[in-house]
């Protein structure tokens, strides 16, 4: 997945990158959606796979591309995928939510036609029916969660925060000394806001949900459910490994997951305390959201 990073419960991921292109090319995808075993929390669970993969495949696309995605539903129940944040101009029936798009019946297929006209940024996709989205970061099966909700109860507290579909603190990203990387960060969870930070590194925010921003630097970022950000980080620290940390916000019990930012010339494993972040403070989050909103620039229309 390169440096497309997705946080929270990463069921499925869509990344769109802006580049200028004279023509409007077509990119074709053939996806087979099945149930299969996944182990995001170390125990076997029933997950939803695309072409055998969990999280689902990344879509790399440039501005103005036409994406033709043939989705075969091999689940024993109806299925839909929605493309969060992608503008469906004059084709809302491609949005993939119940009400605008008919569910794909079991054993059938539907071909999405998405036009990335004038669009830049980082987006993600997820299944929009029947609580399929929850098929990952609880140890319960998503059918059990569905039943809990249907009986009028609240969702249980999640078991973990996943980073790129893994909850074991064992994901590692290798960077080269001196280089700058773009991280695409999405909170694809169901209910919890997350804080994201990297030990010893600052993040320069360059994109929020398909819009360029005035570039402001942050030590940590709050990412609410459904949000996607791009940040730049430069590997300009001493050559060693650093913690990448994400933790839940506004929860009395704080769930934390870590990954490793590994310098290719690293001389030392991660060390020191895991950097802390805001937990229940709301003012901090509001002022950050305000600074991001006021610094958004509409560089495309
Ligand atoms: C999808 O995968 C299932 C399970 O491997 C297989 O039985 C089915 O034929 C596949 N369908 C398509 C359209 O590839
Ligand atoms: C279903 O998939 C077949 C190829 O596997 C394709 O020819 C057909 O157009 C697709 N149908 C729909 C409704 O997308
Ligand atoms: C991952 O690390 C965090 C922070 O130390 C810890 O709270 C959490 O329990 C760890 N998760 C696992 C699965 O070990
Ligand atoms: C972003 O907005 C805040 C106000 O909320 C302002 O203080 C800050 O200077 C702005 N940053 C840039 C780079 O313009």
**Quick one: pLDDT at residue 228?**
94
Q: Determine how many CB atoms are found less than 10 A away from the CB of residue 251.
A: 15
Report which protein residue has its CA nearest ligand 2's atom 13: 110
Whole-Å CA distances, 202 to 2, 15, 231, 272:
20, 22, 9, 18
Residues in Cβ contact with 50 at an 8 Å cutoff, skipping those fewer than 6 apart = 12, 31, 32, 33, 56, 57
Check residue 24 and give its pLDDT: 86
Evaluate: CB of 271 within 6 angstroms of ligand 2: no
| b/e map 105-143, b = 16+ CB within 10 Å | eeeeebebebbbeebbbbbbbbbbbbbbbbbbbbbbebe
* Ligand of minimum distance to the alpha carbon of 255: 3
Hey, whose CA ends up nearest to atom 2 of ligand 4? 291
| 151, part of any domain | no
Instruction: Locate the ligand 4 atom nearest the alpha carbon of residue 287 and give its number.
Output: 5
CB-hemisphere CA count at 13 Å for 74?
15
Domain boundary among 136, 162, 195: 136
- In-domain check, residue 239: yes
Residue of the nearest CA to atom 3 in ligand 4?
A: 291
From residue 184, alpha-carbon distances to 6, 14, 68, 163, 255 in Å are 7, 10, 23, 12, 21
Q: How far is the CA of 49 from the centre of ligand 1 (A)?
A: 11
pLDDT mean for each 10 residues of the chain (301 residues): 34 42 83 95 92 94 94 97 89 88 96 92 92 84 90 90 91 96 93 94 94 91 94 97 95 94 96 89 84 63 33
By alpha-carbon position, which residue is closest to atom 11 of ligand 1? 32
| pTM across the whole model | 0.87
Q: Are both 116 and 59 inside the same structural domain?
A: yes
pLDDT at 22: 55
CA distance 253 to 231: 28
Distances (CA, A) of 232 to 47, 83, 135, 201, 255: 32, 24, 31, 10, 25
Instruction: Decide: 257 in ligand 3 pocket, CB within 6 A.
Output: yes
Fill in the DSSP letter of residue 40.
T
CATH number at residue 61: 2.60.40.420
Nearest atom of ligand 3 to the alpha carbon of 169: 1
For strand 203-208 and strand 194-198, is the pairing parallel, antiparallel, or unpaired?
unpaired
- Give domain status of residue 143, yes or no: no
Decide if 192 is inside a domain. yes
For residues 284 and 180, membership in a common domain is answered with: yes
**Contact predicate 17/60, CB 8 Å:** yes
Report the separation in Å between the CA atom of 209 and the middle of ligand 4, taken as the mean of its atom positions: 18
Distance between CA 184 and CA 138 in Å, rounded?
Answer: 24
> What distance in Å separates the CA atoms of residue 195 and residue 249, rounded to the nearest whole number?
6
CA of 30 to the centre of ligand 1 (A): 11
Kindly state whether residue 97 falls inside one of the protein's structural domains.
Answer: yes
Answer for the pair 121, 207: CB distance below 8 angstroms, yes or no.
yes
Range of the domain at 278: 172-293
The pLDDT of residue 232:
96
d(CA 247, CA 26): 39
| pLDDT score of 202 | 97
Is 144 part of any domain? Answer: no
Is there a domain that residue 162 lies in?
no
Ramachandran area for residue 83 (φ above 0: left; ψ -120 to 50: alpha; else beta): beta
Using the atom order of ligand 2, give the atom closest to the CA of residue 110. 14
Is 35 found in the same domain as 120? yes
Peptide linkage before 94 cis (omega within 30 of 0): no
Same domain, 277 and 176: yes
Domain final residue, candidates 85, 115, 136: 136
The predicted pLDDT at position 301 comes to 33
Both 199 and 111 in one domain: the answer is no
How many domains is the chain built from?
2
Domain boundary, last residue among 136, 163, 184: 136
Based on the domain organization, do 211 and 120 belong to the same domain? no
- CB 168 near ligand 3, within 6 Å: yes
State in Å: Cα 32 to ligand 1 middle. Answer: 6
- Residue 300: inside a domain: no
62 lines ligand 3 (CB under 6 A): no
| Pair of tokens at residue 149 | 């909700």
Q: Whose CA is nearest to atom 12 of ligand 3?
A: 168
């Amino acid at each position: 997945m390169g440096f497309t990073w997705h946080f929270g419960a990463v069921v499925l991921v869509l990344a769109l990158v802006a580049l200028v292109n004279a023509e409007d090319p077509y990119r074709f995808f053939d996806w087979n959606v099945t149930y299969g075993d996944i182990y995001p929390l170390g125990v076997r669970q029933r997950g939803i796979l695309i072409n055998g993969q969990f999280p689902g495949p990344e879509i790399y696309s440039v501005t103005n591309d036409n994406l033709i995605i043939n989705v075969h539903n091999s689940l024993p129940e109806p299925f839909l995928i929605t493309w969060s944040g992608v503008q469906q101009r004059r084709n809302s029936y491609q949005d993939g939510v119940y009400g605008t798009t008919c569910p794909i019946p079991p054993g059938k297929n539907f071909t999405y036609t998405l036009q990335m006209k004038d669009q830049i940024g980082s987006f993600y996709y997820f299944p929009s029916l029947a609580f399929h989205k929850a098929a990952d970061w609880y140890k319960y099966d998503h059918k059990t969660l569905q039943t809990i909700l249907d009986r009028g109860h609240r969702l249980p507290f999640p078991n973990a925060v996943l980073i790129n579909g893994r909850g074991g603190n064992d994901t590692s990203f290798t960077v080269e000394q001196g280089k700058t990387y773009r991280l695409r960060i999405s909170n694809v969870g169901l209910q919890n806001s997350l804080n994201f930070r990297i030990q010893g590194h600052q993040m320069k925010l360059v994109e929020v949900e398909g819009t360029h921003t005035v570039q402001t630097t942050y030590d940590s970022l709050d990412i609410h459910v459904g949000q996607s950000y791009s940040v730049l980080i430069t590997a300009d620290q001493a050559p060693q490994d650093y913690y990448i940390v994400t933790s839940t916000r506004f929860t009395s019990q704080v769930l934390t997951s870590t990954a490793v930012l590994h310098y290719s010339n690293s001389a030392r494993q991660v060390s020191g305390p895991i950097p802390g972040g805001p937990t229940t403070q709301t003012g901090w989050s509001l002022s950050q959201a305000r600074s991001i909103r006021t610094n958004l620039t509409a560089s495309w229309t």
